[in-house]
Amino acid sequence: MEGCAIETVSETRTRVILHLDMNSFFASVEQAHDPSLKGIPMAVAGNPKERRGILVTCSYEARALGIYATMTVGEAKRLCSNLVIIPPDHEKYRTASMAVFNLLRSYTDLVEPVSIDEAFIDITAIGGLTNAVTIATEMQQRILRELDLPCSIGIAPNKFLAKTASDMKKPMGITILRKREVKSILWPLPVIDMHGIGKSTEKKMHALGIYTIGDLAQKDELIIKSSLGKNGLQLHKRANGNDYRLVDPEAAEERKSIGSSTTLPIDETDLDECLKTFNWLAVKVADRLNKTQLAGTVVMIQIRTADWRNQTRSRSTLNPVYKENDIYKEAVGLFNKHWDGEPVRLLGITVSNVVPMNELHEQLSIYNFEKHAKEEEIEGLLSELEKKFGPGSVKRANK
């Protein structure tokens, strides 16, 4: 009986999850490399010499003046004429990111990076709730002392609450969010403030009379499922403070992949025919990603030559990809760079390091913000046209 009792306690032991979120990561890395940038209004921006360039991130000194990411350089300069603007150095940011994750792994192997500047850490076995604040404080201070980078940490019994908690105090905050506090702290907030809900989902929820996180938590599950599907049910559970996902240290490095390959009818040497095949493969992979609601940060191509020699080439993307145009662009870029003109027998595309779409955390970059802002405008226009003329009445032209 004693053995059974011990086993039961072990199985039901409350997990303690940390969510670590680096503060103004790109700007902080630049300040760590150049101390003269500390304590002043500064920002990282694409095309810093052009007034229409977009701010990727900015220091807290700049934020205090009303400057924020997604502003144009011109707008920011009007608020602060002496704002210092630095062009981005993504290799520098990746190196700093790896250093942070390696430091976290000195505490436990249960570290799951989820983007370039955030990670989940399960500390249940190395201290649990009793020592959670001590451990989080030590991690935070070591990252500041050894890497000169600030971060905020959320402490909670699951991933969703930990991620929510890490946003509550910035910069350099440590916040505990208990499940019993969900009703008083989260339920009054607008539903758009909940992680995993964007503008599109917000509109659908408003149509159901859901305006706050509390409204979502208390809405009938059948209504949620019929209107929002499985993703809606997941959001409903999280609005009630429930999230059973484990911290998976393998998730970032070796998540399952989605791919497709095909043997060509002849040993192909014509570039245009190879590109047509890649276009077809990109459509298939994008379709599978959409059906499984996944996106990935590594695009790999496979080339098998007529003499059965296999080659694989891959490229990591700053942000997860799932659209056929983005997959095709990355695959063709790799093919043009590495194909030496030998006859090709088989071609393939694989997207790996996949994550659920509702967990995407996009690190804004100079390469994608303006594009995505425009995409959002186009999607809105298409939606309005379809409302007027009917579903499927308007389609995008293929690029």
Handedness of CA 351, 355, 356, 362 (dihedral sign): negative
> pLDDT band at 115, cuts 50/70/90?
confident
| Residues 226, 87 share a domain | no
| Residues 25, 101 share a domain | yes
Question: Starting at the edge strand that comes first in sequence, how are the strands of the sheet with 42-45 ordered?
Answer: 55-58, 42-45, 84-86
CATH number at residue 194: 1.10.150.20
| Residues 265, 190 share a domain | no
| Residues 110, 68 share a domain | yes
Cβ atoms within 10 Å of 291's Cβ, excluding its own: 9
* Predicted confidence (pLDDT) per residue in 201-227, tens digit: 899 999 999 999 999 999 999 999 998
| Residues 132, 19 share a domain | yes
The reply to whether 67 falls in a domain is yes
Residue identified by tokens 């226009």 is 381
* Predicted confidence (pLDDT) per residue in 242-255, tens digit: 999 999 887 665 45
Domain total in the chain: 4
Give yes or no for a contact between 338 and 313, defined as CB atoms under 8 angstroms apart: yes
| Residues 188, 274 share a domain | no
| Residues 153, 37 share a domain | yes
Query: Based on the number of CB atoms within 10 Å of its own CB, is 314 exposed (0-12), middle (13-18) or buried (19 or more)?
Result: middle
* Predicted confidence (pLDDT) per residue in 304-334, tens digit: 888 878 888 988 887 889 999 999 999 999 9
Of 83 and 70, the structure prediction assigns the larger pLDDT to: 83
Q: Is the pLDDT of residue 172 over 60?
A: yes
Q: Which long-range contacts (CB under 8 A, 24 or more apart) does 77-85 make?
A: 77/51, 80/41, 82/41, 83/41, 83/42, 83/43, 84/37, 84/40, 84/41, 84/42, 84/43, 85/42, 85/43, 85/44, 85/45, 85/48, 85/53, 85/55
> pLDDT band at 158, cuts 50/70/90?
very high
Binding site for Mg(2+): which residues?
A: 21, 117
Give yes or no for a contact between 204 and 228, defined as CB atoms under 8 angstroms apart: yes
The reply to whether 272 falls in a domain is yes
Residues labelled as active-site residues: 118
The reply to whether 244 falls in a domain is no
* Predicted confidence (pLDDT) per residue in 160-171, tens digit: 999 999 999 999
- CA nearest to 298, candidates 280, 277, 318: 318
Domain that holds residue 380: 370-399
pLDDT averaged over the chain?
A: 85
The reply to whether 3 falls in a domain is no
| Residues 29, 128 share a domain | yes
What type of residue sits at position 312?
A: T
Binding site: which residues?
A: 21, 117
What type of residue sits at position 128?
A: G
Of 7 and 102, the structure prediction assigns the larger pLDDT to: 102
| Residues 384, 294 share a domain | no
Percent of the chain with pLDDT over 70: 83
Residue 317 has φ and ψ, to the nearest 5°, of -105, 150
| Residues 273, 224 share a domain | no
The reply to whether 364 falls in a domain is no
Report d(CA 78, CA 29) in Å as an integer. Answer: 25
- Specify the pLDDT at position 382: 54
- Specify the pLDDT at position 3: 30
| Residues 157, 119 share a domain | yes
The reply to whether 61 falls in a domain is yes
Report d(CA 73, CA 359) in Å as an integer. Answer: 30
The reply to whether 365 falls in a domain is no
Q: Is the pLDDT of residue 366 over 60?
A: no
| Residues 387, 351 share a domain | no
Question: Of 177, 192, 223, which marks where a domain is finished?
Answer: 177
The reply to whether 1 falls in a domain is no
- Specify the pLDDT at position 194: 94
